[in-house]
Homo-oligomer: A and B are copies of this chain.
Amino acid sequence: MEDLFITTLIGQVRALDQFGTWANKDDKEILCEKYVKTKEDLKQIPVIADIDEMQVQDIRLIFQSIALAFEKKTGVMCSVVMEMSHEGFGRAVVIAEKIVVTNKFFKDAHRYSFRTYEDLLKEGEKMLDNAIEIYNQFKK
């Protein structure tokens, strides 16, 4: 169960791979390509440009994976509401019943990424653990 977040995320990414783009790559390679950006990579991203639809979709997948992994672990249905402006300001919430189990604000969603693969894994599991903790604290 330790890697529940990351296995859910790769499942989501592969499920959306309509054209077989990722078929020949391994899981870690795909997730790195999508979510890992070094400081050097970040410098290449223009600040002023409108945020890319693909980037918004990739961010959504992170929170959808939190929701799905939460469901797998607790059996409680979960959903994601996300809003994002063209400038990369936004917010994503994961909701279980009446409880907001994950809450993330974006000020610069263009650059939403992780420095290393291990960071992605660790951050994801941490968000998932937090979500479950919050749910247990507030549930009736």
Contacts and interface: CB of A to CB of B under 8 A. Distances in A.
Interface in A94-140: 95, 98-101, 103, 134, 137-138, 140
When all copies of this chain in the complex are counted, the total is 2
Interface residues of A, number: 15
Nearest to A101: B98
Nearest to A90: B81
| Interface core residue of A81, A95, A101, A134 (most chain B CB under 10 Å) | A81
Given A83-B81, A93-B81, A140 B140 contact: no
A93 B82 CA distance: 10
A37 interface: no
A103 B91 CA distance: 16
Nearest to A98: B100
Given A98-B103, A99-B138, 18 more contacts: A81-B81, A81-B82, A81-B83, A81-B93, A82-B83, A83-B83, A93-B93, A93-B95, A95-B100, A95-B103, A98-B99, A98-B101, A98-B134, A99-B100, A100-B100, A137-B140, A138-B138, A138-B140
